[in-house]
Structure 1
Amino acid sequence: DCYGEEFEALYEKYEKEGKGRKTLKAQQLWFAILDAQVETGTPYMLFKDHCNNKSNQKNLGTIKCSNLCTEIVEYTSPDEVAVCNLASISLSKFVTKDAAEYGTYD
């Protein structure tokens, strides 16, 4: 439940304690991510540090996830789950005959 410098310190501590399960080259991991994105369109990349550093919800806790496309990030806790509701409108259903002439919609 941390990010930034606190995460870095914890990560380095775990490295020194030998808690790592597997080591691989960063380039190997990066190419695996790129291959998956080309083949499936996912995973989406989200940088937890940036989200938390810029969040206006810092007082609530650490943001750990987002919606699928990663354009919405909100704090989620065991007591309250943040959701992202998306919708679309068929604009042509609201255009009147005069709209093209006047640029207005109902």
Structure 2
Amino acid sequence: MLVRISEIEVYPQYLDEYLQYARTVGVTSVCEEPGVICIYPMQLKRDSCQIRILEIYASDEAYKHHIKTAHFQKYKTETLHMVKSLDLVDMDALAPATMLQIFKKMHK
């Protein structure tokens, strides 16, 4: 499993447009790619131009496939000028066995 948090700062004048792209690529990726477990974009309440995206992939191969898809390439190329900074932070899951419980709770 690959877990990552993308830390993104967006230029204010592009914020609304960027948010739409982030929502769209997340939904499309989760719906169309079996190896994409989660792409969950979030916006910091204290600074709306700060975006965090929780990304969870079944494997490195699933991530490599994801970044080659047409929907990701569209997101990447069409938002490049909107992004002031980007940091991809790879994470170690401390309790990966609880992930199944988290997603089961969403259906209650």
Bin the TM-score by the shorter chain.
Answer: under 0.3
Indicate the structure (1 or 2) with the bigger Cα radius of gyration.
1
Higher relative contact order (CA 8 A, sep 6+): 2
Higher strand share: 2
Q: Compute the TM-score of the two structures, normalised by the length of structure 1.
A: 0.23
Q: Compute the TM-score of the two structures, normalised by the length of structure 2.
A: 0.23
